[in-house]
């Protein structure tokens, strides 16, 4: 009896054992990928996909890989939306491509990137996890996912954005472009990033405006001497201190002690800027000012009276010394 030729051999020659297999797989044997780079799935979009699959069937199989410690189960590599749509339809099986080699994490992010399923924040987080898990350099990671090292660097920089921006971008179906998000990330100050984000999300800023804002900010920072910055910070501190009520400050002894300590330190640092005789004069002026502010009905303790007596004697002694020096001249 004549033997029929093998179809696979006649059409494709010898099939490699590493060739992916296509088969129907039970849904309950498929496990989600814990490293799935995509984090957000729109429910309305999933329902529309489920209706499409119900009407036209599954046009593209999902991609899975056998679980190493359980060959009867599979890890989902790509196609989680299709997998979830099948669950919504109450189906028990789904057509899948079973991979026999390859890194699951790399395959998952490459598939998502090629299909442009990841938003920029998800992409940045996924690339960061790959770098950390497999100790990739940016250059090596770029070769894995097919992107230039400079592009990888710009994407990873998005991880430095404040959590508020990441959260709002991922949950608001934002139409903000990746390039604009990257420009915001180039600003080092979180306050500035948030300010730009507030403008951007309402359509009030562009990539050019974000770049110009960073350029102007850099120029201002470079042109401002340290003395001016110190004076500005001092004015802000004085303004905020003026807003505090005395009762608020002394309600907590620790806070009061820190403010008094800060006051003394500022006075000392400022005093060090003057020559010795000028510092002495400043101290006299400060003492005179404080004495004038003392209320006449203040309750004097024995300790306070003793301290003032010592201070009085010291001032008399120093005044006499200056008088003698002047007489000698």
Considering only CA atoms, which of 153, 35, 22 is closest in space to residue 103?
Answer: 35
- Tens of pLDDT, residue by residue over 129-158, are 888 888 889 998 888 888 889 999 999 999
Average pLDDT, the chain: 76
Q: What whole-number distance in Å separates Cα of residue 139 and Cα of residue 150?
A: 9
Pair of tokens at residue 101 = 């080699």
Confidence of residue 12 (pLDDT cuts 50, 70, 90): very low
In this structure, what token pair is assigned to residue 13? 């020659």
pLDDT for the residue numbered 104: 75
With DSSP H G I counted as helix, E B as strand and the rest as coil, what are the percentages for the chain, rounded to 5? 65, 10, 25
pLDDT tens digits for range 197-243: 887 776 655 666 666 655 555 443 444 566 776 777 777 777 777 77
Q: Which residues are catalytically annotated?
A: 80
CA pair distance 198, 192, nearest whole angstrom: 10
Order across the sheet with 21-26: list the strands. 21-26, 93-99, 62-67, 70-78, 30-31
Q: Compute φ and ψ for 59, nearest 5 degrees.
A: -85, -25
CB 67 within 8 A of CB 74: yes
Q: What is the pLDDT of residues 71-123, one digit of tens each?
A: 889 989 888 889 999 999 999 999 988 887 777 777 777 776 766 667 889 88
């Amino acid at each position: 009896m004549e033997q029929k030729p093998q179809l696979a051999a006649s059409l494709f020659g010898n099939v490699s054992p590493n060739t992916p297999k296509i088969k129907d797989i039970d849904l309950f044997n498929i496990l989600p990928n814990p490293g799935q780079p995509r984090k957000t799935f729109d429910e309305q979009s999933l329902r529309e996909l489920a209706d499409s699959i119900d009407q036209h069937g599954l046009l593209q199989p999902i991609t899975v890989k056998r679980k190493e410690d359980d060959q009867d189960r599979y890890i989902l590599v790509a196609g989680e939306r299709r997998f979830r749509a099948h669950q919504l339809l109450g189906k028990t099986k789904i057509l899948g491509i079973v991979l026999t080699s390859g890194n699951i994490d790399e395959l998952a992010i490459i598939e998502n990137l090629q299909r442009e399923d990841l938003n920029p924040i998800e992409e940045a987080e996924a690339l960061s996890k790959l770098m950390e898990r497999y100790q990739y350099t940016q250059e090596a990671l770029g070769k894995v996912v097919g992107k230039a090292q400079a592009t990888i660097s710009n994407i990873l920089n998005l991880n430095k954005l404040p959590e508020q921006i990441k959260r709002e971008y991922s949950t608001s179906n934002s139409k903000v472009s990746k390039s604009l998000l990257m420009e915001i990330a180039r600003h080092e100050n979180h306050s500035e990033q948030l300010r730009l984000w507030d403008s951007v999300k309402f359509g009030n800023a562009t990539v050019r405006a974000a770049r110009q804002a960073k350029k102007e900010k850099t120029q201002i920072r470079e042109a401002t001497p340290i003395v001016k910055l110190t004076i500005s910070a001092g004015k802000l501190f004085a303004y905020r201190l003026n807003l505090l009520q005395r009762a608020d400050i002394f309600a907590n002894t620790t806070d009061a002690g820190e403010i008094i300590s800060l006051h003394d330190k500022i006075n000392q640092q400022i005093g060090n800027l003057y020559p010795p005789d000028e510092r002495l004069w400043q101290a006299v002026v400060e003492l005179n000012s404080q004495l004038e502010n003392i209320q006449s009905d203040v309750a004097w303790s024995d300790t306070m009276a003793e301290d003032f007596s010592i201070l009085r004697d010291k001032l008399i002694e120093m005044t006499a010394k200056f008088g003698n020096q002047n007489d000698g001249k």
